[in-house]
Amino acid sequence: MVIIPATSPWMNRMTNRVTNPAGTSPSSRPASVRTTMLRLLVVPLALSALVAATGCGTDDSASTTTAAESTTTVAESTTTVATAAPAAAPPCPAEAIQVVVSVDQWGDIVEQLAGECAKVTTVISSSAIDPHDYEPSPADIASLTDAEIVVVNGCDYDHWAEETAEGLDPKPVVVNACEVVGKTEGDNPHIWYGPDFVFQVAAAVTSQLETELSSVGTYFSDRAAAWDASMQGYRDEIAAIKAEFAGRTYAATESVFDYMGDALTLENTTPEGFARAAANETDPSPGDIQAFDQLLTSGGASVLVYNVQTEGSIPEQVRATAEGAGVPVVEVTETVAEGATSFAEWQVAQLESLNQALSGGR
Ligand SMILES: [Zn+2]
Q: Model confidence over 240-276: pLDDT tens digits?
A: 999 999 999 999 999 999 999 999 999 999 999 999 9
DSSP string, 124-156: E--TTS-GGG----HHHHHHHHT-SEEEE--TT
pLDDT (0 to 100) of residue 90: 95
Instruction: Domain 97-230: state its class.
Output: alpha beta
Predicted confidence (pLDDT) per residue in 152-186, tens digit: 999 999 999 999 999 998 999 999 999 999 999 99
pLDDT range class, residue 84, cuts 50, 70, 90: low
Report CA(315)–ligand 1 centroid distance (Å).
Answer: 14
Q: Give the mean pLDDT of 75-103.
A: 74
The CA 267 to ligand 1 mean position distance, Å, reads 20
90 residue type, one letter: P
Give the separation between CA 334 and CA 11, rounded to whole angstroms: 14
Give pLDDT tens digits for 52-73: 333 444 333 333 333 333 333 3
- Ligand 1 centroid distance, CA of 337 (Å): 14
Residues with CB under 5 A from ligand 1 (ion): 56, 334
Q: Tell how far the Cα of 131 is from the centroid of ligand 1, in angstroms.
A: 8
pLDDT digits (tens, 9 = 90+) for 225-249: 999 999 999 999 999 999 999 999 9
pLDDT given at position 321: 98
Give the integer Cα–Cα distance in Å for 85 and 69. Answer: 30
User: Which sequence spans correspond to the domains of the chain?
Assistant: 42-81+233-360, 97-230
Please report, rounded to a whole number, the percentage of residues in the chain having pLDDT higher than 90. Answer: 64
Kindly give the distance from the C-alpha atom of residue 202 to the centroid of ligand 1, in angstroms, as a whole number.
21
In contact, 195 and 232? CB cutoff 8 Å: no
CA of 173 to the centre of ligand 1 (A): 25
CATH for 42-81+233-360, options being 1.25.40.10, 3.30.465.10, 3.90.470.10, 3.40.50.1980 = 3.40.50.1980
Weakest-pLDDT range from 74-83, 139-148, 251-260: 74-83
SS3 183: coil
